[in-house]
Amino acid sequence: MGVDSYTRRTLKRSELTQNARHYINGRWETGVTTGLSENPSDTRETVAEYARADRSQTELAIRAAADAAPHWSHTTPQRRADVLDQIGSEILARREELGLLMAREEGKTLPEAVGEAARAGHIFKFFAGEALRGGGGETLASLRPGVQVDVTREPLGVVGLITPWNFPLAIPAWKIAPALAHGNTVVFKPAELVPACGWALAEIISRAALPAGSFNLVMGSGREVGQTLVDSPLVDGISFTGSVETGELILQAAARRHAKVQLEMGGKNPLVVLADADLDRAVDCAVQGAYFSTGQRCTASSRLIVEAPVHDAFVVRLRHRLAALKIGHALERGTDIGPVVDRVQLARNLAAIAAASEEGAEHVWGGEPLQRATQGHFMSPALFLARPEQRVARDEIFGPVACVLRADDYEHALDLANDTPFGLCAGICTTSLSRATHFKRHARVGMTMVNLPTAGVDYHVPFGGRKASSYGPREQGRHAAEFYTTVKTGYVLA
């Protein structure tokens, strides 16, 4: 839908403001208080009035999930597969509508949002298959005569799923789908900036005939709803995606009560460009990886490490591309980059840009707030030339801001790539198979990309990193079973 037909529809504002309620124990519930989410492309538009829970309402959802756990964990794999398949089919059938809601609430462009909705649908379908395959197990001969040993996987129990705003459907999908596939019951808490997306997903799940309490949605603040999930002795595992600071808090709290925990946090991902690279491809990878989705991806390439012989040519071409990008309303046809998600994040980005200039990074392009026809949080993509010790090259900004670091040669580039507290992903653009192979082996990250943007991953293979980026088992693909199941060893005298 283009912005014109969309603008005509905004005349019916009541139709566009979603009333998002909690889903607890199979029923839709109003909150203790109400919150509003707004459209970052046009802050006059309220996207949702949503229910906010307090500690005791969150505890009701946790109790419902705990009561449902014995039932759901013993459903047949066929039943779980059917439920997940139905959810996936409905998401796919409604991808345009869900994408529109997401573009309005989060601000990513409409094509990106529709693509993400489709991905969420495919994730549910993938995990429908995983429900049938199960987490795997083995039968072995014992070390003792006449004894048989088997190793089986069981559901963890109740899982608390805490998600961020930047992928409002895909990240919840890649936590909820494996949780249910492997027989766990769920309390899902979406980020406060995107409650309507969380609600829309819950609404689809609610029609898939799950037993009451198997899946619950509770909205509200991290400090109240999130913290209640983290602290509850009834919650067996917490899967979290968000900031490093919150992740650290959750890790400490979960450790105190021996809860299983999986954390996906920040990144300061390098894209290395070697002198032998196809430079047009390298610039494409940089533009896509660093700036699309307004740079609001933990896999964004915010450090562009370029070998000296092509450094200046790369910077010239990249600046040229940045100048041609269209920044604007997420629903306007042709928009390359939508708004920043909210005014707090915009202020953070602009402060980081001012600090970069103050610390002596060379400003190449952008980084200014932009005025558009609607009142939104727009800014131009920013590019700096930096030195490795500067903060613009070290801190995650989570916005459309990247820096170029000059590397003397491949070894220097690899050292720079690894010189970060983070370790989510790393990319390299090169035509040398031996360099690419060496880089894949020696980059201290969880995911490597060769001649591809660092952002943009498949859902059927593991996602996650090392160092300050991640903690606990990987997400997605078959490996998701490692978090969502626990291993049991059985001995039988035959």
84 vs 229 by CB, closer to ligand ADP:
229
6 Cβ contact partners less than 8 Å away, ≥ 6 residues apart: 100, 331
| Residue 298 bears catalytic tag | yes
242 vs 477 by CB, closer to ligand ADP:
242
Amino acid at 210: L
Nearest approach, Cβ of 197 to ligand ADP (angstroms)?
A: 12
Nearest approach, Cβ of 383 to ligand ADP (angstroms)?
A: 23
Q: Which residues of 40-53 are buried (b: 16+ CB within 10 A; e: fewer)?
A: bbbeebbbbbbbbb
Nearest approach, Cβ of 193 to ligand ADP (angstroms)?
A: 7
223 vs 460 by CB, closer to ligand ADP:
223
29-38 long-range Cβ contacts below 8 angstroms, 24+ apart: 29/57, 31/57, 31/219, 31/220, 32/57, 35/192, 35/195, 35/219, 35/220, 37/105, 37/192, 37/193, 37/194, 37/195, 37/196
Nearest approach, Cβ of 241 to ligand ADP (angstroms)?
A: 7
Q: What does the alpha-carbon distance between residue 270 and residue 226 come to, in Å, rounded to a whole number?
A: 31
87 closest CA partner among 179, 192, 203: 203
40 vs 164 by CB, closer to ligand ADP:
164
Residue 262 forms beta bridges with which residues?
239
Amino acid at 444: R
229 vs 305 by CB, closer to ligand ADP:
229
Amino acid at 365: W
Cβ(357)–Cβ(228) below 8 Å: no
269 closest CA partner among 447, 67, 437, 73: 447
Nearest approach, Cβ of 340 to ligand ADP (angstroms)?
A: 12
Active-site option among 285, 298, 403, 425: 298
Cβ(458)–Cβ(118) below 8 Å: no
Cβ–Cβ contacts within 10 Å for residue 494, how many? 8
Nearest approach, Cβ of 261 to ligand ADP (angstroms)?
A: 11
Active-site option among 264, 332, 396, 482: 264
235 vs 443 by CB, closer to ligand ADP:
235
At 148, give phi and psi (nearest 5°).
-110, 145
Residue 87, Cβ density class (10 Å: 0-12 exposed, 13-18 middle, ≥19 buried): buried
Nearest approach, Cβ of 186 to ligand ADP (angstroms)?
A: 15
∠ CA(243), CA(244), CA(248), 5° rounding?
120
At 418, give phi and psi (nearest 5°).
-90, -5
Contact footprint for ligand ADP (CB under 6 A): 162-165, 189, 191-192, 222-223, 226-227, 230, 242-243, 246, 249-250
Nearest approach, Cβ of 173 to ligand ADP (angstroms)?
A: 15
Residue 450 forms beta bridges with which residues?
428
284 vs 396 by CB, closer to ligand ADP:
396
38 vs 90 by CB, closer to ligand ADP:
38
Q: How many Cα atoms within 13 Å fall on the side-chain side of residue 212?
A: 8
Q: What does the alpha-carbon distance between residue 182 and residue 288 come to, in Å, rounded to a whole number?
A: 35
| Sequential DSSP letters for 152-184 | EEEE-SEEEEE--SSSTTHHHHHHHHHHHHTT-
Give me the active site residues, please.
264, 298
